[in-house]
Structure 1
């Protein structure tokens, strides 16, 4: 069981640091974070998106002690952890964190040399099927829920936010399975977009959604002029022409096709003007 030291000041930390390297758990208040950042004199460029990501997790109560530490040199300089400290000041939350003190300044050169664990890695550790695809879909569903229908917003979801989406919508696992199966049969639309569209369409009409994705995969028994045939022809043509299509364009095609099917309309040719709004599925 860890014990948080509250309150803790720079003077307390400096006194302990002289004894050499040590690790402890400290409740870092917004005030202490601000004071520590005054000693952040030699570090990488700040990434505002990372600060926003961390701050959202802190505000949501999703931040947990995971062994990653704020690292301070023997002279008190911040060697690692500036993004977490900025996030504490942004969120205005007091957060319990490991702090390693008393490190030689030159050790900073060896920090953060590993690869960050992705959301897909986390879902794989949880033994989720189709973990990479499932992670990609949850990120795009999160974006859609934030009003970002082009999946190009400034903010991207944290792993905790993706897990929260999956917890709220366990049916996303089925969407990932259908996306993988459809992609294997018709490899011209990204799985991430297929899964996101399946999630949205399934919430409207599960039976018609199941039929829609079966016919998207195999194109079987569809009459001339059917919207799904227009979709299959359009994306196949653009992919064969080596056109690099953005995800929002795929999404617009899928929604326009779905809406035409729902309306019972024929669709000889599928179009979507670049930069135009992504329609609502209905």
Structure 2
């Protein structure tokens, strides 16, 4: 369907329409009264659409009785960017002032979606999935300029169910040693396990308990560093914690002592060996 019939005000109608990029472009010409477009949201939606992960979920493209687009500009821009045609629910005939009440609720997070699926430790799972996804995209500093959508996180979890084990390790380690963020521990566990699973088991067990580590041992140096940071109330970004973990890991793998761990803000992220 390419033509949109608009009823009189006070008599809204609902249709399911297969919206093409051409139709989306036409509708956006009626976008004369809306908030600024957020490019990041458009890009996120477009990736889901192009990957076939967009679902008809009851959220509608909304038009006023005079034809003004009230809600849905980001989805329409994303549809154009994706180059795909998808079915969308379309509501027409709304009063213009209803726009003030649209998108007023809190956006559902990836953690919310995972919790609704019955996942345990949903918040930790979501944070690890996001960081693993970003790491695999080459965003080693977790800059959050390009983050995964909920659908992309779900797809990653389906592709790599071993991330569940990383969540378990993160939660268990945090119970014993609370100086490292669970999201970073879980991400590091997944990344390092891909290098050497058996060594990762020992490495994260020793991070948690610090057992039988001689002076100068990389894991002991790591533990002392993060405890000192906490005692001094230093605000340490996640990527720096990730660098600490990898530097300690590499030293263990190379069987060499490590007197101190540092990571300058402008230094590249070390890669695990």
Measured against the shorter chain, the TM-score band is: over 0.9
Alignment match, 1:251: 242
With the length of structure 2 as denominator, give the TM-score of the two structures.
0.97
Residue 269 of structure 2 is matched in structure 1 by: 278
Whether 1:57 aligns to 2:51 is no
- 2:162 aligned with 1:168: no
Cα pair 2:10 2:95 within 8 Å, conserved:
no
Matched, 1:233 2:224: yes
Give the 5 Å matches for 1:51-200. 51-200=42-191
Q: Does 1:263 align with 2:257?
A: no
- Equivalent residue pairs, number: 273
**Residue 168 of structure 1: how far off its partner (Å):** 0.6
Deviation at 1:218, TM superposition (A): 1.0
Which residue in 2 is equivalent to 1:30? 21
Counterparts of 1:8 and 1:241, CA distance in 2: 63
Q: In structure 1, the residue corresponding to 2:31 is in which secondary structure?
A: coil
For residues 229-262 of structure 1, the C-alpha deviation after alignment (integer angstroms, 9 at most, x for no partner) is: 1000111111111111111100000000001011
Q: What residue ranges of structure 1 are gaps of 5+ in the alignment?
A: 1-6
- In structure 1, the partner of 2:5 is 13
Partner Cα distance (2:182, 2:222) in 1: 16
How many Å separate the matches in 2 of 1:18 and 1:111? 17
CA drift of 1:13 comes to 2.2
CA offsets 1:32-73 (integer angstroms, 9 cap, x no match): 111111111111111100000000000111001001000110
Q: 1:211 aligns with which of 197, 202, 206?
A: 202
Alpha-carbon distance in structure 2 between the residues aligned to 1:35 and 1:17? 21
What displacement does 1:93 show?
A: 1.1
Cα 1:17–1:281, aligned 2, differ >3 Å: closer, same or farther?
A: farther
Paired with 2:233 and 2:109, the residues of 1 have a C-alpha distance of: 29
* Distance apart, 1:17 and its partner CA: 5.4
Q: Whole-Å Cα distance in 2 between the matches of residues 215 and 95 of structure 1?
A: 50
For residues 192-239 of structure 1, the C-alpha deviation after alignment (integer angstroms, 9 at most, x for no partner) is: 100000001111222211111111011111111100010001111111
2:39 alignment partner in structure 1: 48
